[in-house]
Amino acid sequence: MTLTLTFGGYQGPGSVHTRGGHALADEVARRTGGQIVLRFQENVTDGGRPATDLLTEVEAGEMDGCYFASSYLAGRIPELEVLDQHFRVPDRAEAYARLDGALGDRLASLIAARTGFTVLGWWDNGFRHISAAVPLLAPEACSGLTIRTLSSDQHEIAFQALGFRTRRTDVRDLAAAVRDGTVDAQENPLTNIYNFGLHETHRHVVLTRHLLGVAPVLFNAARLAALSADLRTRLAEAVAAATEAQRRFATEDDAACAAALRAEGVTLHDLTDAERARFAAAVAPAVDRLRARIPRDLLALFDADMAPA
């Protein structure tokens, strides 16, 4: 008997997450010998739904799993804000090692305790950079401009510290908000800037590298618990293999999208150490206030294992 699990995403076919979702479906079929079929819905926003519907539906058991940016869960699990320390950015390989170790285990246990989700992996949501129609090379240049942010208090606080006005916008509405000037700036990995077509309006990308985004792979906890122990193990192994592939896609896509953006006439601005330090100094008080709220043992894991690169 074949069991079907549903898995949702919120990006287009070129996305590293979408490619990760297809890798996951293939791994599930292979590792379970066809006992489980993972039906992957690439982009729920294609039907006009907000991406955040995925979280509601997976937790309610209407869908079995999804990936989603960790910042969206920080309102319920404030400890996840340990990953939202702007301009305190880990080396990619180091981040992977620690998310797959003690830090990731601790965050996964907190998510499990307070939600209906089980975390089976941590996907790479990309180094985030700021794009706009003009180059924003110093905090002073950001003053009074409106930037689109994720639905996260800490993200808003950090960008307000740079002088921006902030506007939360679902990914479904992001491209339109950039095109029609609802927002003057936005921040995303290069893969999203390119694949969402944001560069068609925003011809300048400042490589701020202010965060390395993280997207947990979430499954409905009750649905997972109902599987046999053997199938749960095989599903976890499939997620681990797909996670390795997704992270590889993310790393490769940074270089590919940078080249594609430049080929289409977009200017990518590399900050000098001094320029980046000015951005970091502007947000430092907000980051320090955040750190004061994070449990000391969790902060110690971040500081020891994900030291800024």
Bridging pattern class, strands 165-168 and 146-149 = parallel
Note if the pTM is more than 0.75. Answer: yes
Given a contact cutoff of 8 angstroms between Cβ atoms, the answer to whether 49 and 106 are in contact is no
Given a contact cutoff of 8 angstroms between Cβ atoms, the answer to whether 38 and 7 are in contact is yes
Give me the pLDDT at residue 58, please. 99
DSSP symbols for 280-306: HHHHHHHHHHHHHHS-HHHHHHHHHHS
pLDDT tens sequence across 82-103 = 999 999 877 898 889 889 999 9
* Ramachandran angles phi, psi of 209, nearest 5°: 50, 50
pLDDT tens sequence across 226-256 = 999 999 999 999 999 999 999 999 999 999 9
CATH code of the domain made up of 3-305: 3.40.190.170
Write the CA distances from 68 to 125, 149, 215, integer angstroms.
9, 15, 5
Q: Cα 58–64–26 angle (5° rounding)?
A: 135
Among 216, 43, 9, CA closest to 123: 216
